[in-house]
Amino acid sequence: MSKLTSTSAVAAALRNLADSLEGHMDLFVVRPSIYFNCKYEPEDTGKEAFLTLAKILPRPIRKEPDSSDYILVHETDALRVHVSVERSKVCQLVEAARPAVYECAPLLSKLEEEELGGVGGLAGLGIGVDEAVQS
């Protein structure tokens, strides 16, 4: 489990990295990403850490869609910063997700289906009819 650290300690570590990078101004590097992952902190601590970072992150920021996490991103040409937390720590569940249900037109002719041994040839792939239309 991670531990919380002070913003001044993080700033000092980043300043040290910046000093090192500035010592080599003639070089080029890939654009780095910094991740503040609040997901594995205890319930209140993770939410509190996420909200703190959301308030102090440089602007502009944007939300990035994700099914299980709430993610904020600050991005420049030189740096990308991610702040994430589990949705359940900052959002209220309104409706549980439901499995997708598909309706597919026949993919093969009757003859081709018979040759492959099942509906749409899916039986030959080890997929039953019910499994083929619901996932």
Sheet of 33-37, strand order: 33-37, 80-86, 69-75, 62-64
pLDDT of residue 131: 46
Q: How far apart are CA 113 and CA 15, in angstroms?
A: 65
**Does residue 84 register a pLDDT over 60?**
yes
Say how many CA atoms lie within 13 Å of 100 toward its Cβ. Answer: 6
> pLDDT digit string (tens) for 9-49?
999 999 999 999 999 999 999 999 999 998 877 767 888 88
Q: How far apart are CA 48 and CA 107, in angstroms?
A: 52
The arithmetic mean of pLDDT across residues 43-68, rounded, is 87
